[in-house]
Chain A
Amino acid sequence: MIVLSGRDLNKEYISRDRKVRPLQHVDFDLHQGEILGIVGESGSGKSTLLKVISGIEKPDSGMLYHLDKEYTGSKPEKTGKFLQMIFQDAYGSFDPKMNMEKSLKEGTASDRNEIVRVIGEVGLSEDLLDRRPRHLSGGQCQRMSIARALLSHADVLLCDEITSALDVTTQAQVIKLLMEIRDMENVSIILVSHDLALVSMICDRIMVMKDGVVVEEGKTEDVINKPSDEYTRKLLNSIIAV
């Protein structure tokens, strides 16, 4: 079943007197319980695509659907009912003046017991609820972001470079957690990353973007083993070279 889809999405803006087109005729489908990886170098349009999907930015043209229901142009206040975002800057995604309990309670009717249960699921203890974000580690903060997304009972998680600010050990823990959550809650995940190696490890399908265009899309093993686009081959070669 397709949970989320986009058709012919386009976006352009003017930056320093230059026309930039971060999205050009982008199509995507996200199936239930699937992890879709979006890879590409900086400026390829992957983060803009997440902003458009979440309603933070409006597409200039194109359509977005959630369970076959169109939601193009809906604001984040509405899209938040079915999707949640996990940010690259885990600390920045929590109000520095609020403790974790208040932050987690924001978009949910859940009581403290429910919150404690969910943060237990992501491997955190109750005593962290009284702390402010700056008193948590990067990994703990990112786990709190995942807990917040789970508390809102969203079908879709949008993960924007969620491991790039973490150390290698914590990266592995967060990725493992993400996979466990997919299996437990059957949520669908879009994982944006510039790290093709990471994406190829955990994603069911991969979408490769370059200059706002989807240059290749398919099952992970197909994209990794039989890349059809020159740009994908270059990305793969760069991993092998490393």
Chain B
Amino acid sequence: MLAPNDPYATNSSLIRQAPSAAYLFGTDNLGRCVLSRVLVGARTTIASTFFLVAVSFLIGIIIGMLCGFYGGIVDDILMRVADLMLAFPQMVVAIAVAGILGGGLGGAMIALGITMWTSFARLARSHTLSIKNEPYITAARLQGKSGLQIMMTHIMPNILEPVLINALTQIGTTMIGISGLSFLGLGVVAPQAEWGSMISEARAYIQIAPWAVLFPAAATVITIVVFNYLGDAVMEYRKAE
């Protein structure tokens, strides 16, 4: 809606045009409006990042609560799986998985999500362990509440805040991950507009048309910085409280 031009319309007479009043961010190698592609790419990059973080958060917090609350063999197995995931750098695992799954945004999200839930699960588990022996949990058990009810009504609300703040700080990393995989050709594929794939496409002619790399790169950096600051600010606010 905000894009001034069709982000997918090619025009051979407008190839690699420098930024001007008509095309504020210039045009790319196929004459497409870079500003429109950056704006449409924001939707792809930010929406997929939010979706991925939300799904990983949900899976992680549920697994973490179950492990922390019930313990036992399920906890042992799931936490060893998490250890295994954390033993490798996230991007290395993501590249390997995305390579196996082939290109596409879905594949990139699965590749990143495979390791991302572990940090939420670990955090949720440690917070669950620290509160599960609180007297109010014992009181709830004596009031006849089942394990599931206690997890939903007492544990979840009390561990939500720190895990949610962790999710905020993960947004920047996830965005780098999605853009990185797209840059490597393992994420979003052309012609779909996405910041990482735009940088990847335009780097071939960076010396002739640097704006085609500069603007999506700047958008990526600014967005990551904003979300990191947001995470830090919320964390500071919580500490001050």
Q: Would B158 and A95 count as touching, CB distance under 8 A?
A: yes
Q: CA separation between A77 and B147, bound complex, in Å?
A: 9
Report the minimum CB–CB distance from B13 to chain A (whole Å).
62
Report the minimum CB–CB distance from A64 to chain B (whole Å).
15
Which of B121-129, B137-145, B191-199, B210-218 lies on the face that meets chain A? B137-145
Interface positions, chain A 73-105, Cβ under 8 Å from B, are 75-77, 79-81, 83-85, 87, 89, 92-97, 103
Q: CA separation between A84 and B153, bound complex, in Å?
A: 20
- A80: which B residues are within 8 A, CB to CB? 141-144
- A97: which B residues are within 8 A, CB to CB? 157-158
Contacts known (A80-B143, A80-B144, A107-B145); A94 close to B136, Cβ less than 8 A: yes
Chain B 103-147 per-residue mask, 1 if CB under 8 angstroms from chain A, else 0: 000000000000000000000000000000011101111111110
Report the minimum CB–CB distance from B124 to chain A (whole Å).
16
- A95: which B residues are within 8 A, CB to CB? 136, 140, 153-154, 157-158
Report the minimum CB–CB distance from B136 to chain A (whole Å).
5
Q: Would A106 and B135 count as touching, CB distance under 8 A?
A: no
Name the one of A75, A89, A107 contacting B135, with C-beta atoms under 8 angstroms: A89
Q: A152 in the interface, Cβ–Cβ < 8 Å?
A: yes
Interface size for B (C-beta < 8 A) is: 16
Q: Would A56 and B138 count as touching, CB distance under 8 A?
A: yes
A-B contact pairs, 26 of them (CB 8 A): A54-B138, A56-B141, A75-B141, A76-B138, A77-B144, A77-B146, A80-B141, A80-B142, A80-B144, A81-B144, A83-B142, A92-B135, A95-B136, A95-B140, A95-B154, A95-B157, A95-B158, A97-B157, A106-B143, A106-B145, A107-B140, A107-B143, A107-B144, A107-B145, A108-B143, A145-B139
Q: Would B136 and A92 count as touching, CB distance under 8 A?
A: yes
Q: Would B136 and A76 count as touching, CB distance under 8 A?
A: no
Q: A148 in the interface, Cβ–Cβ < 8 Å?
A: yes
Residue in B closest to A108 when the chains form the complex, CB atoms: B143
- A106: which B residues are within 8 A, CB to CB? 140, 143, 145
Q: CA separation between A107 and B142, bound complex, in Å?
A: 8
Report the minimum CB–CB distance from B113 to chain A (whole Å).
29
Q: Would A87 and B143 count as touching, CB distance under 8 A?
A: no
Q: Which residues of A contact B (CB under 8 A)?
A: 54, 56, 75-77, 79-81, 83-85, 87, 89, 92-97, 103, 106-108, 145, 148, 152
Q: Would B144 and A85 count as touching, CB distance under 8 A?
A: no
Q: CA separation between A103 and B134, bound complex, in Å?
A: 15
- B144: which A residues are within 8 A, CB to CB? 77, 80-81, 107
A81-B144, A92-B135, A93-B138 are known contacts; what are 13 more A-B pairs with Cβ within 8 Å?
A54-B142, A77-B144, A83-B142, A85-B139, A87-B135, A87-B139, A95-B158, A97-B158, A103-B136, A107-B140, A107-B142, A148-B139, A152-B143
- A76: which B residues are within 8 A, CB to CB? 138, 141-142
Q: CA separation between A79 and B153, bound complex, in Å?
A: 21
Name the one of B134, B138, B146, B157 contacting A85, with C-beta atoms under 8 angstroms: B138
In the complex, which of the residues B140, B141, B154 has the most CB atoms of chain A within 10 Å of its own CB atom? B141
- A75: which B residues are within 8 A, CB to CB? 141
Q: Would A84 and B135 count as touching, CB distance under 8 A?
A: no
Q: CA separation between A148 and B142, bound complex, in Å?
A: 11
Q: CA separation between A237 and B154, bound complex, in Å?
A: 45
List 4 A-B pairs, minimum CB-CB distance, nearest first: A107-B143, A80-B142, A76-B141, A93-B135
- B145: which A residues are within 8 A, CB to CB? 77, 106-107
- B146: which A residues are within 8 A, CB to CB? 77
